[in-house]
Structure 1
Amino acid sequence: MPSPNAPSGLLTPEGLRLIDFARASAAPPVGFAWLDDDGRPDPRQPIHTWITTRMTYVFSLAALLDVDGAEEIAAIGVDALLGPLHDDQRGGWFTSIATDGSGPVDAAKGAYPHAFVALAAGTAYAAGIPRADALVERATDTYERRFLDGDGRVVESWDRGFTRAEPYRGANATMHTVEAFLALGDALDEPAWHRRALAMADHLVHDVARHHDWLLPEHFTPDWQPVLDYNVDRPADPFRPYGATPGHLLEWARLLVQLEASLPEPPGWLADDATALFGTAVRAGWEVDGAPGFVYTVDFGGTPVVRSRMHWVIAEAIAAAGTLGRRTGDPAYDRWAATWWDFTEEHHVDRSGGSWHHELDASNQPASTVWHGKPDVYHALGAILVPRLRPAPSSAVQLRR
């Protein structure tokens, strides 16, 4: 049954349903498990740091919304991130560990999961979750020392001992670093994190995306030269797909508006670039293959490549429309949000199995070619909360206040 104690104006019945589904992922003391289609921990999957961090973030927000038991569940994530998921010998966080906590399954140190550690830490800190202050200290120290280069740009990944960096840079990890830095800046009241986020957005959006007709390349050499044919032979990779990703254009659009609202003197290009990214995502991604839905990827001519529909893309579309609608007052964004909610209700929301179908095929039937199961509710909950909150400060700080 849905928890009865959340403010209905912010957390809708659907939000409560998502959070209640996610409770089954709690797996103390190691973190949070990957859930299958029926909401059961998938024994084939290890404990992933990126899932544990996202669920810690979700339950920290739920705690701020007075959802029953949420604070205790968020604390499971904080304890796991300070415990078995952390590499006490060499620093940083493992990509994944065994479900019994016996050791790492993937010992690499990636910027993507570390960005989510920072996001979870800042959000848990804002929510008053026990030991979150220690997690913030460890997360910020690690990220500053290991994942920012001399130009303030994101180093993608390292081996376990931080001795060898991967000869690759990625827009996805940078995008989530921007999200994490906005949350840290708000939670800690330290504007330097916002300025760092602005520099990253200036580089990847106002420079790179603008010069590629707003179809942001995702993959780069170590000196940030785009590699446009990266993974052309593996176009459906869940984290590094070939081509441009409309869902990330939508996510960046939201983040730019949030960044603008976080700065005392924001540059004028932030809102303009957000509008351009949103428009490009809609033109390139929505209903472009004869059926409703956003395609996963397109090539740099705008032709669909992977036509699967991901739940995270439609969730980010709703969040971006809500954020830009608040920023501009343009009712067109409200119409888009309504259209996309209708699509979500019809195709993604799973009333029998719970949560949302994470992937649909090109005819909008549940599929599992890129994703299997229902690993987390981070994006779906964002679609519910983000449009109901101001662009800044971050969700946790607004809820705390």
Structure 2
Amino acid sequence: MNASHDGSWTALAAHRAWLDAEADRLLRFGAAARDPRGGFAWLGADGTPDRDRGVQLWITTRMAHVFALAHLRGVPGAGPLADHGLAALSGPLRDAQHGGWYPAIPGPSEPPEGRKTAYGHAFVLLAASTLALAQRPGSRALLADATGVFEAHFWDDAHGRARESFARDWSDPEDYLGANANMHTVEAFLAAADATGDPSWLRRALRIADFFVNHIARSGWWRVPEHFTADGHVLPEYNADAKDDPFRPYGTTPGHALEWSRLLLNLEAALPDPPDWLVEAARWLFVVAVGSWDHDGHQGFVYTIDADNRPVVRARMHWVTAEAIAAAAALHRRTGDLVYEHWYRVWWDYAAQYVIDPRGSWHHELAPDNTPAATVWSGKPDIYHAYQATLLPQLALAPTAAAQLRGAR
């Protein structure tokens, strides 16, 4: 399945050592997020925890996932940090009355509770799967809880995708379907398949990808719409009055096309009999996304574009660079095509010049001139995307990172 990548940067011991050093630097920065309230705090640009904000579910899950991966890599101190995240997911972030997880442990100026989202719960499933593969105490119970909640409430087996959100008591399903939440559900299902040994999670992941990519994106020149009604109709003007929303931006998002591209290859490698369209779609999504590089005359990917392929929000997000790197590495590993190695090098050079902050972590947002900005994202909330950009290019396409690292022990 995987083509040789001799001659690539990832085949060079010096480059792999550089990736490992950058991963360790990210971990040292992220360790400061450990919050006495439980879980992990939102970090400011200087790495100081922002105690005025609540402890976010999406940050805690992603950081627990990262520290569990680091533990599997043999990084001292990472295991206790992973356990700290696990304790929050088993304690203050868990809704003991209704099941599932709260979106946050509230901060001083925040309401006590919000809706339960597929996005947040997908990351619970991802973290629980990685923690279980890392054999952290209590992780199997958390994984059983996470799989049960997702199957009972979020998985829509009739349509083969994840429902978006509910009120705390699982009433009031939202009349909305998000490609972003379903994309991360694919990621979580790949991890759940490895952690549980149950291949049904892979079949579910394929059904999600088939709808959003093979059906919707293929029919729209390989651009993935972000927003749908609950029954699957595209909402092209969704959030037209909030174009720079950090989770549901108006238009389409080139960064998500790159993320989908990599995940399709992970899924193809994991399936025993994958359909041919997975690699075809991964290539096309990458091609279309690359069209948004330097799209406004400046280096970097714009955050969003409209239906006429014009930039909407021109800020550059660190996670897009990270996902571009991971997608280029995955496509080169799968195909051996040197064009992907070219882009892998271009985007690491860009990251080193503009995105990586020598004071710690990566700038989460840059202005169009590639200077640090904070119009959409303030501070440096987590290290998940950046850390995976240092790790995934060194691994095979399947199984998931946690499963490979566990197998290497």
Normalising by structure 2, what TM-score? 0.94
1:260 matched to 2:268? The reply is yes
Partner of residue 304, structure 1? 311
Normalising by structure 1, what TM-score? 0.95
Question: In 2, distance between residues paired with 1:137 and 1:116?
Answer: 14
Partner of residue 295, structure 1? 302
Q: Check conservation: 1:214, 1:277, Cα contact below 8 A.
A: yes
Q: Which amino acid aligns with 2:154?
A: F
Question: In 2, distance between residues paired with 1:334 and 1:129?
Answer: 36
Partner of residue 130, structure 2? 123
The size of the alignment, in residue pairs, is 391
Partner of residue 4, structure 1? none
1:394 to 374, 381, 400: 400
Shift of 1:367: 0.3
Partner of residue 342, structure 1? 349
Question: In 2, distance between residues paired with 1:194 and 1:224?
Answer: 21
Shift of 1:99: 5.0
Shift of 1:152: 2.8
1:286 to 282, 293, 307: 293
Question: Could you say what the CA RMSD is over the residues aligned between the two structures, in angstroms?
Answer: 1.4
Alpha carbons of structure 1 residues 11 and 282: separation in structure 2 relative to 1, 3 Å: closer
Q: Which amino acid aligns with 1:86?
A: R
Question: In 1, distance between residues paired with 2:174 and 2:85?
Answer: 28
Partner of residue 382, structure 1? 388
Q: Check conservation: 1:28, 1:76, Cα contact below 8 A.
A: no
2:236 to 228, 242, 246: 228
Q: Check conservation: 1:28, 1:80, Cα contact below 8 A.
A: no
Q: Check conservation: 1:347, 1:364, Cα contact below 8 A.
A: yes
After superposition, where does 1:52-71 map in structure 2 within 5 Å? 52-71=60-79
Question: In 2, distance between residues paired with 1:242 and 1:104?
Answer: 26
Shift of 1:161: 0.6
Question: In 2, distance between residues paired with 1:163 and 1:138?
Answer: 19
Q: Check conservation: 1:46, 1:105, Cα contact below 8 A.
A: no
1:324 matched to 2:331? The reply is yes
Q: Which runs of 5+ in 2 are unaligned?
A: 1-15
Shift of 1:9: 5.1
1:114 matched to 2:121? The reply is yes
Q: Which amino acid aligns with 1:264?
A: P
Q: Which amino acid aligns with 2:352?
A: E
Q: What SS does the corresponding residue of 1:41 show, helix, strand or coil? A: coil
1:280-299 superposed Cα distances (whole Å, 9 cap, x missing partner): 0001x100101100000001
Question: In 2, distance between residues paired with 1:10 and 1:130?
Answer: 32
1:360-383 superposed Cα distances (whole Å, 9 cap, x missing partner): 011111000000000000000111
Q: Which runs of 5+ in 1 are unaligned?
A: 1-7
Q: Check conservation: 2:52, 2:107, Cα contact below 8 A.
A: no
Partner of residue 24, structure 1? 32
1:97 matched to 2:105? The reply is yes
Q: Check conservation: 1:10, 1:385, Cα contact below 8 A.
A: no
Q: Check conservation: 1:307, 1:361, Cα contact below 8 A.
A: yes
Q: Which amino acid aligns with 1:391?
A: L
Shift of 1:187: 1.7
2:199 to 160, 170, 191: 191
Partner of residue 213, structure 2? 205
Q: Which amino acid aligns with 2:294?
A: E
Partner of residue 362, structure 2? 356
Partner of residue 10, structure 2? none
Q: Which amino acid aligns with 1:155?
A: R
Shift of 1:105: 2.9
2:43 to 27, 35, 51: 35
Partner of residue 256, structure 2? 248
Question: In 1, distance between residues paired with 2:92 and 2:386?
Answer: 28
